[in-house]
Amino acid sequence: MKTPSPSGSPKANRPGWFGPFGGRFVPETLIEPLRELEAAYADARRDPRFKAELRHELATFVGRPTPLTFAGRLSRELGLRVWLKREDLTHTGAHKINNTVGQVLLARRMGKKRVIAETGAGQHGVAAAAAAARAGLPCVVYMGTDDMARQAPNVARMRMMGATVVAVDSGSRTLKDATSEALRAWSSDSRETFYVLGSALGPHPYPTMVRDFQTVIGVEARAQILKEEKRLPREVIACVGGGSNAIGIFTAFLKDKAVALTGVEAGGTGMKPGRHAARFAGGFPGVLHGTRTYLLQDENGQVLPTHSISAGLDYPAVGPEHAELRRIGRARYVHASDKDALAAAHELCRLEGILPALESSHAIAYLVKAKKRFKKNGVIMVNLSGRGDKDLGTLCP
């Protein structure tokens, strides 16, 4: 729904707010569970044992640190020095596992009896199922039926890990509706259930908590590029759906004003309503799933349908911290089309032997199309947020 202009918004330093974006817009039944979660997370962040266990799991289960790979042949094609942060090499195949391991450890610490999650591309669902299995907790994943059809391999993986996959056949039958169902399920049983939200959105404290669990990407990447190049990159590029992989890598470079930060949204098949998921190109501030952010909506505040060839970017809102980074000019947001993302995926396979997820391919597509705006031999870093095994049905129909 639409909300008032930013002039009446809370101050930027208020917990849960990023300038005029963020907050906690939920039914009364979720206020206390969110307060409980906020307090538990704050306590865990101060506990050396929790932090040590998380580091151990990231190293021995997730497979961190992930490499920073120099894309030599792609670099020669573009006249740049392109480095890929390889989140596709984590356990389960995407950055999502960084967050689910952290949240499931928190769920166990809080004494919760089961976890639930939403998923679009299926990578968050798989990561939640894997983390829950390791912790010995039952897991239920909500997924739109359209996404289940185009991401069938991930549905099978979730089920093999013991998760129950609940098909959501309402609305657009994609991530938006899966998230709505997960929130409803949580509100009906918050005492024993922990909601593992998959991206840097939703009501406070989720945008902050998810970002914190994903900052490991940027911390590693910054140290790695300094070791390899003895300088920081000219630009850091990442795809943006909800925006967790992007905020995870951007955060480490926010104070480095010489480093440009670029998020790439889903341009779909055009800029008409219902044909894309480029929130900054076609949306304006509103509230969805508990947070105030940029949202694709009509003049009456009704959420518009979205489209992307990549299920993980097919969502009508963006994380509130990204909305603030755009407002203050610290990050810029562009979009890449379905056609260009497909071409970029095939190009990276051909040149580097790396199969990117269709989500990550949007970042590669922007780099290829915008190569002339970069200085020759400039150092560019792309966050390769996931691998494309799940997308073979689309990539090779």
Q: Tell me the domain boundaries of the chain.
A: 6-56+96-206, 63-94+214-395
Q: Do domains 6-56+96-206 and 63-94+214-395 have the same CATH topology?
A: yes
Mean pLDDT calculated for residue range 239-259:
98
pLDDT tier at 172 (50, 70, 90 boundaries)?
Answer: confident
Identify the CATH assignment for 6-56+96-206 out of 2.30.30.90, 2.40.30.130, 3.40.605.10, 3.40.50.1100.
3.40.50.1100
With the C-alpha atoms ordered 350, 356, 357, 363, is the resulting torsion angle positive or negative? negative
Q: Which of 199, 308, 337, 385 is catalytic?
A: 385
Q: Is 7 a catalytic residue?
A: no
pLDDT at 275: 97
Least confident of 2-16, 20-34, 44-58: 2-16
Active site residue 118: yes
- Return d(Cα 275, Cα 269) in angstroms, integer: 6
Chain segment 76-89, per-residue pLDDT in tens: 999 999 999 999 99
pLDDT, tens only, 112-159: 999 999 999 899 999 999 999 999 999 999 999 999 999 999 999 999
Confidence class of residue 397 from pLDDT cuts 50, 70 and 90? confident
Q: Can you read off the two tokens belonging to residue 390?
A: 């799940």
Which string of DSSP letters, residue by residue, matches 53-107? HHHHHIIIII-PSPPEEE-HHHHHHHTSEEEEEEGGGSTTSBTHHHHHHHHHHHH
Give buried/exposed letters for 207-238 (b at 16+ CB in 10 A, else e). Answer: bbbbbbbbbbbbebbbebbeeeeeebbbbbbb
Reported confidence tier of residue 15, pLDDT bands at 50, 70, 90? confident
How high is the pLDDT of residue 14?
A: 83
pLDDT score for 188? 94
pLDDT band at 72, cuts 50/70/90?
very high
Torsion, CA 122, CA 239, CA 330, CA 42, rounded to 10: 20
Catalytic residue among 96, 112, 176, 390: 96
* CATH 3.40.50.300 at 63-94+214-395, yes or no: no
What average pLDDT does the segment 180-209 reach? 97
Task: Judge whether residue 348 has pLDDT over 90.
Answer: yes
Reply yes or no on whether the pLDDT at 4 is more than 50. no
Give the mean pLDDT of 326-338.
98
Contacts of 10 (CB under 8 A, 6+ apart): 17, 20, 23
Specify whether 112 is catalytic: no
Spacing of C-alpha 69 from chain mean position: 21
**30-40 pLDDT per residue, tens:** 999 999 999 99
**Summary mean pLDDT of the chain:** 95
- Mean per-residue pLDDT for 217-221? 98
The single residue of 118, 265, 347, 352 carrying the catalytic annotation is 118
Q: What pLDDT is recorded for position 13?
A: 60
Q: What share of the chain has pLDDT > 90, as a percent?
A: 94
Q: Which of 54, 63, 162, 56 is nearest to 104 (CA)?
A: 54
8 A C-beta contact, residue 233 and residue 83: yes
Q: Which of 290, 284, 229, 286 shows the shortest CA–CA distance to 259?
A: 229
With 0.75 as the threshold, say if the pTM is over it: yes
Q: Is the pLDDT of residue 367 over 50?
A: yes
Residue 2 pLDDT level (bands cut at 50, 70, 90): very low
